[in-house]
Amino acid sequence: MAAILVYFVLPVCLLILGLPIFVVLTLTSMAAIVFVAHVPLDAIQTNMFGSLDNFPLLAVPFFVLAGEIMGRGGIANRVVNWVVSLIGGVRGSLAVTTVASSELFGAMAHTTVGTVVAIGRLLFPSLTKHGYGERFAVSLITSSGAVAVIIPPSISMILYAMTAQVSAIQLFTAGILPSLLIGVVDAAYVLIYARIKAVPLTARARWTNIWASTKEASWAIGTIVVIFGGIYGGVFTPTEAAGVAVVYSLFVAMVIYREIGLRELWQVIVSSVYLIAQILIIVTGAGIYSWLMTTSGIPQNLIGTIDAMRLPAWQTLLFVNLGLLAAGSFLEPPAAILILTPLLLPVVQASGISAIHFGIIMAVNLSIGLYLPPFGLNLFAARAIFNVPMGMIYRGVLPFVAINFAALLIITYVPAISMVLLGTSH
């Protein structure tokens, strides 16, 4: 009972008090060591620094920096303009463009808030100007930006691969079809919405515009080619790909597009450092917390309890999904992955679910949690960016929560969607 109070009740109380997640994890770990774990206090610093001693983790700061460069260096703007030129003449094409642009930029920038900011800045004025209500436009951008958690090579997947000790490349491969499914589901919904609301048609796609925008965006599109081509072509590891992405995006932004100078580069580096520090300090706090909880035997006891209940695998997955959705609405994806993976992975593996498939399930859950009322991170980001009432955003995102939850259930119970590209269906 004491362990439950320390490992679960205490952190919830600290979160309610508004403490930062890394403080919550550190204080909880110290309380566990003093009251229930009975291990030396120096285990805190050993495990905290040990959690950073991981080669795949190097990809995180590089991808964060690359995403900042792309957002401020004109790369995101040109990619969005290219997508706009491709999709035209269809009722709802601008909303579909928002979904497609979020997928592309999410694959390049690897950050949900960054995707919401970039896509919102570029497309929100056009959406409201062309007949989409303000509530719909804000909600569409808020929800579609969350795909950055799922679409490879996301930072969340890198952290899961590190925590679950699975191949990051296999996880990236497994995430391709689920992320596309999310995009297709969202696109289908906005097309139906546009037809019901009789949103005005936009200009038809013209070859001259397509050619001009493709030529202008060719270097920006090359970012995706370099990252994915290098990883899946076996040229470099995901960690090395992150470093290459920084060099390539910096070259394009400073030399080709010339939208970043030395002063702007310093600002990009400073803002990236703040975000990197936030992620890595969560990694250190979660490292000691996860180690203490694992050694306490709580995951093993949880497995034993579930085995005694003799639940079928589909019920276990349903309960896990609901728990992850709730956690995702309170915790940022990196923190949720680092905390919950050691607890939940043994449970689902005992039900016959592979670690790779569960990684995709977790990513989709946490992406929905980002815009799940009332505490999803993207909801507050949208409130700050668009300066609209929070109640309006809550009402607007509910349809996206519903359709993406349906997609989550399909991804959960049809493992072939995640595993087929790996040559297996389970």
pLDDT at residue 409, as a whole number: 95
The secondary structure of 274-319 as a DSSP string is HHHHHHHHHHHHHHHHHHHHHHTTHHHHHHHHHHHHT--HHHHHHH
Write the pLDDT tens digit of every residue in 269-320: 998 888 788 778 877 877 787 778 777 777 667 777 776 777 788 888 998 8
The band of 205, judged by pLDDT with boundaries at 50, 70 and 90, is low
* Dihedral sign computed on CA atoms, order 245, 225, 180, 347: negative
Write the pLDDT tens digit of every residue in 227-280: 888 887 878 888 888 888 889 989 999 988 888 888 888 998 998 888 788 778
CA dihedral 99, 237, 54, 419 (to 10 degrees): 60
Window from 135-144, 251-260, 349-358, 373-382 with minimum mean pLDDT: 373-382
Pick from 90, 82, 10, 26: nearest CA to 288:
26
pLDDT at residue 203, as a whole number: 62
Do 21 and 13 touch, CB atoms closer than 8 A? no
pLDDT at residue 236, as a whole number: 82
Cα–Cα distances in angstroms (integers) from residue 168 to residues 52, 56, 296, 374, in the given order: 17, 8, 28, 32
377 contacts: CB under 8 Å, gap ≥ 6: 112, 113, 332, 370
pLDDT at residue 368, as a whole number: 92
pLDDT at residue 258, as a whole number: 87
The band of 88, judged by pLDDT with boundaries at 50, 70 and 90, is low
pLDDT at residue 251, as a whole number: 92
Distance CA 291, CA 282 (A): 14
- Rounded to an integer, the average pLDDT of 357-370 is 93
What is the maximal distance between C-alpha atoms in the chain?
Answer: 71
pLDDT at residue 293, as a whole number: 75
Return mean pLDDT, the chain.
83
Distance CA 55, CA 164 (A): 14
The band of 407, judged by pLDDT with boundaries at 50, 70 and 90, is very high
The number of beta carbons lying within 10 Å of the beta carbon of residue 169 is: 18
The alpha-helical segments, DSSP class H, found in 296-425 are: 298-309, 313-328, 333-350, 355-369, 377-386, 390-413, 416-419
What length does the chain have?
Answer: 426
pLDDT at residue 175, as a whole number: 92
pLDDT at residue 361, as a whole number: 95
pLDDT at residue 408, as a whole number: 95
